[in-house]
Each structure stands twice: as C-alpha cells, then as structure tokens.
C-alpha cells in the first residue's frame, strides 16, 4: 500500500491502475484493473461511484480535453512506473455520453481541416499553374525559337513545388533572367545532348558538361535568334 498511498494529486478525482493485484476494501471485489484510494484504502470504481464512467486512453489531446469539458464527472487515471519511480498519466475516466459528444466535435474539426486542406491544395495548384505559365512565357521571351511545348516542360520541371529546383528559389520566383536561363540550359543539357548517357558511362560530371557545352550553346543561340533547333545525342 505504500506506493498506492502516494499518487500525485493536483485537484479533481484520481484513479489508479495498480501494478499488483488489489481488492476493493468495501466489496472485496478483485483483482481490480482500476481503483480509487479513499483514506489510503482501495475502492473499486463501483464503490467509488465512478463505475458508470468509461476509460479514454491518453494520446488524443483534443479528444481528452473536450471529453472532460463535456463530462460533469471525470477522473484522471495514473499508473506507477517503477523504472522512473513516478506515477504517469494513462488517460481519463469520463461519461460515455460526454465522450460521444467530444468525438462528434473532433470529427467535425477533422472534416473542417480536410476541407481546408482541399481548398489550400486547389489554391496552390492554381498558383503553380499561373507561375509555370509565367515562367514559360519568360523562356519564350528570352528564347523565341524555343518550341512552346519545350518551354512549358522546362518551366514545369524547374518550378515543381518542393523540388528545390531553380524555379523554387527566390531568383526563380522573381523570374530573374539568370534563373530562367539556368533552367533552359539544364533542359537542353538533358534533352538535346548525350549528357545523361555520358554520366551513365562513368564520365565525370564536369567533363561531361565540357563535352556537350558547344551543343548547348548552339541550341541556345538558335533559340535566341528565333530558330527552332532540335538535336539528339
């Protein structure tokens, strides 16, 4: 009884999940999975007038808080942790109807969050479309000979949300010329030259870039001059 006699108490009702088999001091029912201490003696929940309450394990902070708000009568449930030498909160006892009302409130919030996420996703998608179109338009302004589908492809690749690519940098979002040109160069490098094959064959990256530099420059100069140039590796 020494450990059961000293659980923490900060106001309100407290129930204990005992580590050892305990019987109710009043009705002798046992072993008890949960008890209340009255003057140091264990009482079952029925004898403590808490038998109508249901146990809500810890884990969902919002549900726990709302259940206690909705419940006229409630109790905190603790259990002694031998390794840490302290009592730890395990959950709460609340009225079943109160728990149902709290669950309904949480479900309503979850639905509201789902709808908000859907609205935010739709808004971000629209923003991404507008930005990709603006990025592609800037590519075509700088490189009028670039095929429209290539400009859109480069813009979509460079501006993919969460990718960390040039289109998502501050310079990219500002549509600076250096950022746009960098995205176009990368697109030409991977599509119009044997750059990827060189890398796959073991050629170091800087050496591979040196080998395809003239091809990249030729494509860019042609696009700048309004000439559509298509090359294959």
pTM score of the predicted model: 0.53
- The residue among 171 and 230 whose pLDDT is bigger is 171
pLDDT tens string 16-28: 999 999 999 999 9
pLDDT tens string 162-194: 777 887 788 888 889 999 999 999 999 999 999
pLDDT tens string 6-17: 566 666 799 999
The residues, ordered by sequence, that sit 6+ positions from 222 with a Cβ below 8 Å of its Cβ are 145, 228, 229
Look at residue 56 in the predicted model and tell me its pLDDT: 94
Look at residue 1 in the predicted model and tell me its pLDDT: 38
Look at residue 2 in the predicted model and tell me its pLDDT: 39
Query: How far apart, in whole angstroms, are the C-alpha atoms of residue 233 and residue 220?
Result: 16
User: How sure is the predictor about 40, in pLDDT bands with cuts at 50, 70 and 90?
Assistant: confident
Asked if residues 135 and 217 have their Cβ atoms less than 8 Å apart, the reply is no
For residue 87, the cross-strand partners are: 80
User: What's the DSSP call for residue 73?
Assistant: S
């Amino acid at each position: 009884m020494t450990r059961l006699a000293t659980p923490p108490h900060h106001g309100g009702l407290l129930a204990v999940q005992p580590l050892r088999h305990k019987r109710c001091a009043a009705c002798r029912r046992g072993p008890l999975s949960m008890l209340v201490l009255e003057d140091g003696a264990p009482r079952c929940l029925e004898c403590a007038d808490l038998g109508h309450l249901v146990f809500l394990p810890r884990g969902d902070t919002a549900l726990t808080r709302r259940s206690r708000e909705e419940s006229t009568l409630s109790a905190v449930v603790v259990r002694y942790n031998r390794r840490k030498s302290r009592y730890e909160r395990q959950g709460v006892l609340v009225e079943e109807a109160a728990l149902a009302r709290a669950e309904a409130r949480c479900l309503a919030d979850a639905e509201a969050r789902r709808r908000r996420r859907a609205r935010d996703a739709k808004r971000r998608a629209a923003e991404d479309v507008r930005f990709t179109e603006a990025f592609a338009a800037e590519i075509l302004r700088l490189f009028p000979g670039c095929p429209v589908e290539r400009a859109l492809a480069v813009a979509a690749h460079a501006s993919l949300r969460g990718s960390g690519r040039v289109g998502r940098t501050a310079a990219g979002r500002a549509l600076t010329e250096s950022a746009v040109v960098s995205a176009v160069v990368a697109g030409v490098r991977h599509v119009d030259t044997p750059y990827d094959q060189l890398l796959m064959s073991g050629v170091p990256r800087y050496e591979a870039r040196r080998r395809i530099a003239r091809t990249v420059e030729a494509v860019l100069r042609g696009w700048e001059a309004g000439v559509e140039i298509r090359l294959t590796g």
